[in-house]
């Protein structure tokens, strides 16, 4: 079982479908059971949709900085 840290570290690759199958399954299983990571991945997916690809190896600080920059924007309907 992957930890939340591992899931969030690989979330951008997961969304870009760049992970090996075994890792994708591990992340998918974790997301089914962990609402915190589901929320993180949902936000990340929206960010990628809004800004194009995030920089490779984006740090938590960079991601949260982008998050706070877009905070005033309307969230996706979905």
CB of 74 to Zn ion, least distance (A): 27
CA neighbor of 41 nearest in space, from 73, 21, 19, 20: 19
First to last CA, the chain: 28
Q: Does 37 bind Zn ion (CB under 5 A)?
A: yes
**Of 18-26, 31-39, 48-56, 70-78, which segment contacts Zn ion by CB under 5 A?**
31-39
Q: Give the CA angle between residues 4, 47, 70 to the nearest 5°.
A: 110
Residues 40-69 that bind Zn ion (CB under 5 A): none
Separation of alpha carbons 78 and 18, rounded Å: 24
CB of 27 to Zn ion, least distance (A): 10
Residues 4-23 that bind Zn ion (CB under 5 A): 4
List contacts with Zn ion (CB under 5 A).
4, 34, 37
């Amino acid at each position: 079982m992957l930890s939340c840290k591992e899931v969030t570290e690989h979330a951008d690759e997961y969304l870009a479908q760049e992970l090996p199958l075994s890792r994708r399954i591990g992340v998918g299983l974790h997301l089914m059971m962990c609402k915190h990571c589901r929320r993180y991945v949902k936000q990340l997916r929206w960010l990628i949709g809004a800004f194009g690809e995030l920089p490779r190896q984006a740090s938590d600080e960079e991601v949260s900085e982008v998050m706070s920059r877009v905070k005033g924007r309307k969230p996706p309907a979905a």
